[in-house]
Amino acid sequence: MAVRPSWEGHLRLSLVTCPVALFAATTEAETIRFNLINPETNNRVKMKTVDAVTGEELSRGDLVKGFEIAKGEYVLLDKDDFESVKLESTRTIDIEKFVPAASIDRLYWDTPYHLVPAGKTGIEAFAVIREAMEHRKTVAIGRLVMGTRERICAIEIEDNGLVLTTLRTAQEVRAMDQIPSPELPRADKRMLEIAEKIIDQQSGDFDPSGFTDRYEDALRALIEEKRKGHKPVRPARPANDDKVIDLMEALRNSLKGKSSSGTSGNGGARSAPAKDRRTAKKPTGGRRAA
């Protein structure tokens, strides 16, 4: 199936413009989705819209939206209200400034799109903007209207094009100083040396193809077994890993385990031995460094 653009318009830098299109850089097409089913009839279930107090069934077309200003008290907004504040869709991505990539905290990165020329008209202007950004090693900050909402965006270099990522606003980002966190102790020098050696042994290039959603894989296998009429077997629960451990011993055992097993051919790390997995923290997700 041909990929359709999520947005089409113009990219503008000062007086230079060129037609462009945005294509979603991510997809959830392969994500497993479920319907609610009545197990007695195997029919799908439809949800009814009812008044929470009277229980009267209502048509969704007759409803309006409300913003709660106090307990049980709402300001009502209808279609005309939303139209009155709707931003004009300018169909233009306006570049306002250029910043170092490192100056944008990764918490602000949101949704990525491939930004490419739309047709041959203005393709030279697109190439000039892209190449100038590449020479200056900088990220463009701009604005665009998607739907009815104005979004701040960052534009970076990628192969034969640009990648535009919408950015979260300051109100959407929760800073670390808002999170309750204990003060960290200074690391023991000997433990630190062992931990750094483990990191060196497990270092390599990031290869996303080596990571899969094991929960999704298990769901697909479960669905396939049930489709064949087989009764799935519940896997054994893992042993309780909450027991207190000796950190130095765990680090030394981890280092010995890696030394004996070695690393994979492409530099990527193999899985740690089962007995040592309890000492490893789960990696935090985040956007790639720009």
Residue 63 has pLDDT above 80, yes or no: yes
Residue 171 has pLDDT above 70, yes or no: yes
42: DSSP letter:
T
Burial of 88 (0-12, 13-18, 19+ CB in 10 A): exposed
Q: Averaged over 17-22, what is the pLDDT?
A: 93
Please give the Cα distance from 170 to 199 (Å, whole number): 34
List, in sequence order, every residue forming a beta bridge with 95; answer none if it has no partner: 142
Q: Is the model more confident about 187 or about 231?
A: 187
pLDDT, position 95: 94
CATH number of 7-26+86-172: 2.40.290.10
Please give the Cα distance from 205 to 263 (Å, whole number): 12
- Closest Cα to residue 95, out of 18, 177, 193, 185? 18
Residue 101 tokens read as 């990539």
pLDDT, position 271: 42
Residue 172 has pLDDT above 60, yes or no: yes
Please give the Cα distance from 83 to 42 (Å, whole number): 42
The lowest-confidence range among 19-23, 237-241, 268-272 is 268-272
pTM for this entry: 0.71
Q: How many helices (DSSP H) and strands (DSSP E) are in the chain? A: 5, 11
The lowest-confidence range among 110-114, 160-164, 173-177 is 173-177
Sign of torsion over alpha carbons 21, 26, 31, 34: negative
pLDDT, position 149: 84
Q: Averaged over 167-196, what is the pLDDT?
A: 89
Q: Is the model more confident about 263 or about 162?
A: 162
Reported as a single tens digit per residue, the pLDDT across 70-106 is 998 999 999 888 888 877 667 899 999 999 999 999 9
Pure H helices in the chain: 79-84, 123-136, 189-201, 214-227, 247-261
Domain residue limits, the chain: 7-26+86-172, 189-204+212-236+243-279
Q: Is the model more confident about 288 or about 222?
A: 222
140: Cβ contacts below 8 Å, ≥ 6 apart: 13, 95, 97, 98, 133, 154, 155, 156
pLDDT, position 264: 42
pLDDT, position 282: 41
167: Cβ contacts below 8 Å, ≥ 6 apart: 104, 108, 109, 110, 151, 152, 153, 154
**Percent residues over pLDDT 90 in the chain:** 41
Please give the Cα distance from 47 to 36 (Å, whole number): 10
Cα dihedral value 177, 183, 189, 191, nearest 10: -90
126: Cβ contacts below 8 Å, ≥ 6 apart: 11, 18, 20, 117
Please give the Cα distance from 62 to 129 (Å, whole number): 49
- Closest Cα to residue 142, out of 86, 92, 103? 92
Give the position of tokens 């300051």. Answer: 170
Reported as a single tens digit per residue, the pLDDT across 106-125 is 999 999 999 999 988 889 99
Count of alpha carbons within 13 angstroms of residue 212, beta-carbon side: 8
When computed from its CA atoms, the radius of gyration of the chain, rounded to whole angstroms, is 26
Residue 53 tokens read as 């107090």
Type of residue at 181: S
Type of residue at 29: A
Type of residue at 180: P
